[in-house]
Structures are given as structure tokens and as C-alpha cells.
């Protein structure tokens, strides 16, 4: 990567944000700097977008703020032994995983490749948990063979998986540390999150149904290659209240207390999963630390005060501290409804559903703000859409100035943004920029469009 201006960018004055559609929050990750330009982590976002090594669409992340987020979560244990296993799927970039590891985080991974990222970023093998309903043999081998004793635990998602893991343990020549992921069958209708990101209900593919646990233990007793080290649950994502999380945790803790007393299992941890929600603009009544404090109290009341609590947050550590920058390609006005001369305002940007899939997949809303203007014009509604040939490539209606902006930022895009990006429609993967202590410390430019074209054309010959 040639040296670029962005790498020399230094901190700028932060000031209160005033922009249509953006309310001020105490920990607001973006700020208006000198001249009203938007900053993240003290870095001028417009300067990054105009840097030829970066351009748009580009993700920008504030590592310092992510670390602050992680430290606040660690503090919720008040010094008790614990593990924050960061769910790498939320944002698997090396600088992010390394920064969170620096604060003491482990990793929750769902593939052999994510496991490799975690280990290469210095996460201790014993601080890695491996979830997923269809782990392949080579992935299990990697997990069992890691470090001196394998990873922290392979989270078992079915009774059927036990025999497969035992076979791989024999092949590798080690006992496999496992935890049983329980599906606590929380009522989907009361979970309070999108059905696509709910996992702990009785029609989900995840976990071992509570009613099947006795059978799972029967299998375990005949498998000396497996070492039961924990019990876990993960019931869904983006919870903005602790209700469903605690309901699931209660089931998990009661089962765990029972397993310890009736089977004498020497467990190392109980893991109540991730799912701590963030404020995408509609509010979030609870902080990640609230989930932990309430879960700790419940664990204690279930007689498990001595057993370390593990959690697996992804989104809560990173979402708010990333933005997606996009250039406005053009705008368009079309007739709107029966009112004469009423016009719908469309804003066509160069970021699409291939860069940020969440709105198309979960009807998620990411606030769109003008990067350059301080919001002096009265806001009017703009329907912001991407270039992809799908009607669902639509980021919704956002209040922006009457004059169409030239550069916008989609907020709260630090989680499940780049990791879910694709090259659909032959569109290159976006750039990524990492800010720490108000300096750009790493970046990867946008992929060249010819990468995709050459890959497609290259199939079966180069002509």
C-alpha cells in the first residue's frame, strides 16, 4: 500500500453535531469538526473519501471507541473471572480483532477461517469458542489441534454432532473440549427482535432442545474423547431490552445447576451468548453492561456464583463505531401520489446492498447524514437508494437538506457491514479504513473492478 495522505491524517477539533435527522447522544461516535464536516474518531471523513487510495464506498472504523466499549463491558464483572468472546462475524478485520484482544477479549468464531483470524490476531486458543450447526471435519481438526490443549470449547449444536467431534478428537489424538449449546425455546413472538436474527426458539436450527439434553448426556458418557467444559446459549441478536436474554439465561442456569449437582460435571464456564442491542436511532433502553450485571445476579441466584460467566457479543462492541461513506452519484425527482406537483426525491449513491445488506435483508435502518454540510437547511425527505438492480437496494427515507448532498455517511455500520458484503452486480468490495487515537492506522483500498471481471472471464480459459 503506497503511503497516502490519510495515513498522515491527524486529530481535529470535535464539536457538537447539528444535522438534520441526527440527534445528539452522549457517546455519539460521529461529530462535526471545523467547518461542519463530519468526523469519526477525530478524523475528517470527507478527507478520507477524497483520498485517492480510499474513495467510496468505504467503511471507516474507530478502534479507540471500540476498545472503550469493550472495557466498559469487562468492568461489569467487577473483577470476577469471565470471558468476553467477541463474535468475529460482526467485524472480522484484523485491526478490530487485535484491538479488542488488547482489552482482554477472546473470540467466538463460526468457521475455520474465522478461527484462523482469531489465532493469527493473537487471541489465546483457550479464549476461543467455536459455534455453528455444520462444522466440517477440517474445521474441527483446527479447533481440537490449536495450542497445547485445543480451543476453549467447541459449542455442540446437536446430539448427532457429538459422534463426529469424538471421531475427529481420536484422529487428532486429543480430547476435545466441548460445551453443549442449549436451545431454551423462547417464544419467538415475545423475543422483540427480527425473526431472521432470532435463534433460541423451538423452530430454529440452532442448539440442542432442552428436552433432548438427557439423551445428549447419555451419548456423552460413552464418549471419553469429549470433555464437557461448559454449557451455553445464544438466543438472538439486537435485543433492546434484557427480557428475552434473561429468560433464556434462566433456563440455561437452571439446567447448568442441575447438570453440576446430578452429574458432578466439572464445568469451567456457563455462556449466555451475545445479542446485546445497539441504538440504530430508535433507542435502546439498556447497555451491554446491563445484560451482564442482570445475568450475573441471576446466575448467583441459581447457585452458580462460583462459575465464570462467558458472553459472546459482536454488534454491541463495534456497530456504533463504524460508518459507510458513499458518494452521491445523482438525484432524481418523480411524481408522488395524487397531489399535483408533489415530487418524490431520490438520492442515488454509490454504495448498495452489496456493501451494506442489512436494510434489504432485515428492513434495518441506518441513518444517512450529509458529510459536508452542518445542516443549516431545513430538512426534507430523501429516499436514498443504491446502484444495484434490485428494488430492495433501498436505504429508506432520510431527512437531508433541500440541495442534494455530495457525500453521505450511513451510520452504525461497524457490525455486519463489510462482513456481509458481496460483489453482486460486478461491484467491487468496499474500502476499509481504521482509525485509532485520531489517526488512520491501517487501510485497504477498494478492490479494482477488473478483479471481478477477470475472475468471471477467467473461468474455463482466459478468452
Question: Which spans of this chain sit near ligand LLP (rule: CB under 6 A)?
Answer: 87, 90, 108, 131, 197, 234, 237-238, 273-276, 312-316, 358, 362, 416
The single residue of 4, 105, 302, 389 carrying the catalytic annotation is 389
- Confirm if 244 and 186 have CB atoms less than 8 A apart: yes
- Confirm if 78 and 300 have CB atoms less than 8 A apart: no
CB of 414 to ligand LLP, least distance (A): 11
Please list the alpha-helical segments (H only) found in 180-330: 213-221, 243-263, 288-301, 315-318
SS (H, E, C) 320-382: HHEEEEEEEEEEEEEECCCCCCCEEEEEEECCCCCCCCHHHHHCCCCCEEECCCCCCCCCEEE
CB of 57 to ligand LLP, least distance (A): 17
CB of 452 to ligand LLP, least distance (A): 23
Residue 237 vs 242, nearer CB to ligand LLP:
237
DSSP string, 44-85: EHHHHHHSTTT-SSEEEEEHHHHHHHHHHHHHTTTT--EEEE
Cell representation of residue 160 = 448427532
Q: At what angle do helices 112-120 and 94-102 cross, to 10 degrees?
A: 60
The DSSP symbol for 427 reads: P
Q: What is the largest CA-CA distance in the chain?
A: 77
CB of 361 to ligand LLP, least distance (A): 7
CB of 454 to ligand LLP, least distance (A): 30
CB of 193 to ligand LLP, least distance (A): 9
Residue 144 vs 415, nearer CB to ligand LLP:
415
Residues 6+ apart with CB under 8 A from 252: 182, 184, 231, 232, 233, 270, 272
Residue 139 vs 225, nearer CB to ligand LLP:
139
Q: At what angle do helices 159-172 and 213-221 cross, to 10 degrees?
A: 20
CB of 419 to ligand LLP, least distance (A): 8
Sign of CA dihedral 280, 281, 283, 288: positive
Residue 276 vs 395, nearer CB to ligand LLP:
276
Length of the chain: 463
User: CA-CA distance, 60 to 164, in Å (whole number)?
Assistant: 41
Residue 53 vs 154, nearer CB to ligand LLP:
154
Residue 40 vs 107, nearer CB to ligand LLP:
107
User: CA-CA distance, 5 to 19, in Å (whole number)?
Assistant: 27
- The answer to whether residue 105 is catalytic is no
User: CA-CA distance, 69 to 328, in Å (whole number)?
Assistant: 32
Residue 87 vs 105, nearer CB to ligand LLP:
87
Residues with active-site annotation: 389
Amino acid at each position: 500500500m503506497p503511503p497516502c495522505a490519510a495515513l498522515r491524517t491527524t486529530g481535529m477539533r470535535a464539536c457538537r453535531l447539528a444535522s438534520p435527522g441526527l440527534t445528539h447522544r452522549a457517546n455519539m461516535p460521529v461529530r462535526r469538526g471545523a467547518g461542519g464536516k463530519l468526523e469519526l474518531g477525530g478524523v475528517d471523513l470527507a478527507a478520507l473519501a477524497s483520498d485517492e487510495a480510499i474513495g467510496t464506498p468505504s467503511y471507516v472504523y474507530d478502534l479507540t471507541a471500540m476498545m472503550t466499549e469493550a472495557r466498559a463491558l469487562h468492568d461489569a464483572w467487577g473483577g470476577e473471572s469471565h470471558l468476553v468472546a467477541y463474535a468475529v462475524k460482526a467485524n472480522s478485520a484484523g485491526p478490530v480483532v487485535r484491538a479488542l484482544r488488547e482489552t482482554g477479549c477472546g473470540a467466538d468464531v463460526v468457521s475455520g477461517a474465522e478461527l484462523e483470524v482469531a489465532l493469527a490476531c493473537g487471541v489465546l486458543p483457550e479464549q476461543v469458542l467455536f459455534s455453528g450447526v455444520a462444522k466440517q471435519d477440517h474445521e474441527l481438526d483446527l479447533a481440537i489441534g490449536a495450542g497445547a490443549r485445543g480451543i476453549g470449547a467447541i459449542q455442540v449444536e446437536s446430539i448427532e454432532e457429538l459422534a463426529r467431534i469424538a471421531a475427529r478428537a481420536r484422529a487428532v489424538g486429543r480430547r476435545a473440549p466441548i460445551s453443549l449449546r442449549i436451545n431454551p425455546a423462547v417464544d419467538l413472538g415475545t423475543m422483540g427482535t427480527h425473526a431472521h436474527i432470532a435463534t433460541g426458539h423451538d423452530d430454529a436450527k440452532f442448539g440442542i432442545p432442552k428436552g433432548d439434553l438427557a439423551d445428549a448426556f447419555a451419548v456423552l458418557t460413552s464418549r471419553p474423547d469429549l470433555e464437557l467444559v461448559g454449557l451455553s446459549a445464544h438466543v438472538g441478536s439486537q435485543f433492546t431490552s434484557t427480557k428475552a436474554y434473561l429468560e433464556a439465561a434462566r433456563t440455561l442456569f437452571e439446567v447448568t445447576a442441575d447438570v453440576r449437582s446430578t452429574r458432578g460435571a466439572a464445568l469451567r464456564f456457563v455462556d449466555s451468548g451475545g445479542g446485546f442491542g445497539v441504538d440504530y436511532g430508535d433507542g435502546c433502553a439498556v447497555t451491554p453492561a446491563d445484560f451482564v450485571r442482570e445475568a450475573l445476579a441471576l446466575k448467583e441466584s441459581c447457585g452458580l456464583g462460583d462459575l465464570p460467566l462467558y458472553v459472546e457479543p459482536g454488534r454491541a462492541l463495534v456497530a456504533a463505531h463504524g460508518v459507510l461513506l458513499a458518494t452521491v452519484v445523482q438525484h432524481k425527482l418523480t411524481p408522488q401520489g395524487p397531489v399535483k406537483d408533489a415530487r418524490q426525491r431520490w438520492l442515488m449513491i454509490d454504495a448498495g446492498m452489496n456493501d451494506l445488506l442489512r436494510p434489504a435483508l432485515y428492513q434495518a435502518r441506518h441513518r444517512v447524514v450529509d458529510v459536508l454540510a452542518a445542516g443549516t437547511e431545513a430538512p426534507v425527505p430523501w429516499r436514498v437508494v443504491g446502484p444495484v438492480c434490485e428494488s430492495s437496494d433501498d436505504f429508506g427515507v432520510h431527512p437531508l437538506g433541500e440541495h442534494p448532498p455530495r457525500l453521505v455517511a450511513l451510520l452504525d455500520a461497524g457490525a455486519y457491514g463489510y462482513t456481509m458484503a458481496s460483489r453482486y452486480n460486478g461491484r467491487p468490495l468496499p474500502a476499509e479504513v481504521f482509525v485509532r487515537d485520531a489517526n488512520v492506522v491501517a487501510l485497504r483500498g477498494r478492490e479494482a473492478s477488473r478483479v471481478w471481471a477477470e475472475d468471471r472471464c477467467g473461468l474455463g480459459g482466459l478468452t
